């Protein structure tokens, strides 16, 4: 059983994806392919772990960032974790509210992440923002979103630093 706040956020994406077509056709489903020998997967939101622990064909790995879920590369659409549903975007918490950003980690695998949000369905971007608003109302989810926001800020700062260093 999923916490209500997670279930409500996930439901926003039951029939909504970044594109009108299967975005996996663009990249061959790169985000669904586990990398052998690498600690990859989708970061679960608080409360999702118990749901996946009860399902076969999923592996949970504890990391410093949280619990990673790795699947076989094929899953029932209804079983997708919230991170998969949001991909390649993230809701970030800022002083002025929820902002939607491209997940800096997604750029390595997702061609859509290397484009602007304008390339994605506006309804999808709006749903990511609404999911963030829903999640931010729950203390545990709010803490998690603040941690994700800080991680994204760190990754973007590193990317800027590497770009500057490359031009020196």
> What are φ and ψ of residue 163, in 5° steps?
-65, -40
Question: What is the C-alpha separation between 88 and 108, in angstroms, rounded?
Answer: 11
Hey, which residues does 91 pair with through a beta bridge? 100
Q: Which of 41-50, 52-61, 142-151 has the lowest mean pLDDT?
A: 52-61
Q: Which helix (H) or strand (E) holds 92?
A: strand 89-94
What angle in degrees, to the nearest 10, is found between the helix axes of 139-166 and 122-136?
Answer: 130
Q: What is the pLDDT of residue 88?
A: 92
Q: Which residues does 20 contact at the CB level (< 8 Å), separation at least 6?
A: 121
Hey, which residues does 69 pair with through a beta bridge? 42, 60
What angle in degrees, to the nearest 10, is found between the helix axes of 122-136 and 4-11?
Answer: 170
3-state helix, strand, coil in the chain (%, to 5): 50, 15, 35
Q: What is the pLDDT of residue 167?
A: 61
Strand pairing category for 66-71 and 58-63: antiparallel
Question: 150 falls in which pLDDT band (50, 70, 90)?
Answer: very high
Question: 78 falls in which pLDDT band (50, 70, 90)?
Answer: confident
Question: 28 falls in which pLDDT band (50, 70, 90)?
Answer: low
Q: Which residues does 151 contact at the CB level (< 8 Å), separation at least 6?
A: 65
Report which of 78, 98, 8 is spatially closest to residue 45, judged by C-alpha positions.
8
- What's the whole-model pTM score? 0.88
What digits encode the pLDDT tens for the residues 98-134? 999 999 888 887 778 788 888 899 999 999 999 999 9
Domain coordinates in residue numbering, the chain: 4-166
Find the angle CA(127)-CA(30)-CA(116) to the nearest 5 degrees.
45
Beginning with the edge strand found earlier in the chain, give each strand of the sheet holding 58-63 in spatial order: 42-43, 66-71, 58-63
């Amino acid at each position: 059983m999923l916490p209500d706040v997670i279930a409500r956020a996930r439901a926003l994406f039951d029939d909504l994806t970044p594109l009108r077509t299967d975005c996996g056709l663009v990249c061959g489903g790169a985000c669904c392919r586990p990398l052998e020998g690498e600690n990859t997967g989708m970061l679960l939101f608080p409360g999702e772990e118990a749901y996946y622990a009860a399902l076969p064909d999923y592996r949970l790995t504890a990391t410093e960032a949280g619990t990673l879920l790795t699947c076989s590369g094929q899953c029932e659409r209804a079983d997708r974790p919230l991170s998969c549903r949001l991909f390649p975007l993230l809701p970030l918490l800022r002083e002025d509210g929820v902002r939607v950003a491209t997940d800096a980690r997604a750029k390595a695998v997702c061609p859509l992440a290397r484009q602007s949000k304008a390339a994605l369905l506006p309804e999808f971007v709006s749903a990511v923002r609404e999911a963030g608003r829903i999640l931010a109302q729950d203390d545990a989810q709010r803490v998690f979103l603040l941690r994700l926001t800080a991680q994204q800020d760190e990754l973007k700062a590193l990317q800027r630093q590497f770009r500057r260093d490359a031009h020196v």
